[in-house]
Structure formats: C-alpha cells, structure tokens
Amino acid sequence: MRTLLSSLLLAATVLNLSAADTKELPKDVKRIPVTFSGGYDTDPRDKGRPVILIAGALGVQPQVFRDAFSNVHPAGPDRGPTDAEARKNKEVLMKALGKHGITNERLDEVSNYYRYVKSRGETWKHKDAKANALVKDGAVIGYEITEGGSGYSSVPTITVPGIKDAKAKVEVSYSKTFEKNGKISAMTIVK
C-alpha cells in the first residue's frame, strides 16, 4: 500500500489527476482548494471576441475564423446590425466557413452561445474550474482537477491559500462541445 501511495504522489506531480485518482492520500498530505483568477483574455487582434472559443466550437483553427471575420462589418456597440447588414455579414462568413463543413445553423448556435456585451461588464458563458493542490510539509507536491470548467480563452492564474510558491503550468483545451470548450485539461508543478 505504501508503495502504491508513493507512486501515486509521484504521478500527481507530473499528471493532472481527478479526485477519484487520489482519494486515499497519506495522512501528512492535505488537499487545499486552488483559486483560479482570470483566464478570459482575448487576442488584441480579435477586439474582445473570444475567437479561440468560437473557433474551437466550430472545429477550425482560430486563424480560419479570423480570416473569415476580416471581411465582416460589425455594427457599432450602440446598435445592432440592420437586416441588410446582418445578411451581408452572414454571406461573407458562410462563404469562408462553409468550405470547412460549418453550417449556418452551427454558426448561429456558436455565435449566440459566445455573444456578450463587454460594455455592460458581461463575459461570455463559462463555468469555473475547480482543483486541489496536494500539499505536504508546506509544499505543493501535485494537483488534482475536480472540475475542468469551460469558457477559458486564456490560461488563468492560480494561487493556493497559505502557499507562497505554488506554481503550476495550466493547460487549456478546446472542443466542439460547449461544456468542454476552454476547459482546464492539465495542471503540473513548475519548479
């Protein structure tokens, strides 16, 4: 049993683990909830649009969506597009994205899901990630992800209450499935 736990702790420093994987920890190892902050930055080229999430949900590379959107003329923040503007913009997008197998219905679904008004302090739909730091003798020896969350457009910062040097490499993955798009997929110790 002791060898199994030692192996598990060694693996925890390298892999991201679910709570079930590390259920039985040695008595001298504590779980401390990780605090995630940020993770909702967008590329300056995208003018506030979560292009990495939109592209992930559409199943294309972000540059494919950027290129398609480069010929769109969005309405200003004070008004929505007229019907004619909306039709013209949709034609431009579908001409570029249709060749990647994206339908009008899917484009509408993804666009509506990630629509938000930044000037109102809104952020697109997202779900916070949850994780624990595995701490022994005041040092983090591993991380376990209990909920990957969704909607992260950039890597969030993590802190572990009471631990000064809790550093982790956090990885975000993207998917066509909204509930998995922009999720925290791995956390590893940075030394």
Q: Is the pLDDT of residue 105 over 70?
A: yes
Q: Is the pLDDT of residue 15 over 50?
A: no
pLDDT value of position 125: 96
Residue 8 or residue 90, greater confidence:
90
Tens-digit pLDDT profile for residues 111-163: 999 999 888 889 999 999 999 999 999 999 999 999 999 999 999 999 999 99
Q: What is the DSSP string of the chain?
A: -HHHHHHHHHHHHHSEE-GGGGSS--TTEEEEEPEEE------GGGTT--HHHHHHHHTS-HHHHHHHHTT--PPPTTSPPPHHHHHHHHHHHHHHHGGGT--HHHHHHHHHHT---GGGT---S-B--EEEEEEETTEEEEEEEEE--B--SSPPEEEBTTBTT--EEEEEE--SSGGGTTEEEEEEE--
Tens-digit pLDDT profile for residues 46-75: 989 999 999 999 999 999 999 999 988 777
What does pLDDT average to over the chain? 87
Dihedral pair phi/psi, residue 51, rounded to 5°: -60, -40
pLDDT value of position 135: 95
Q: Is the pLDDT of residue 45 over 80?
A: yes
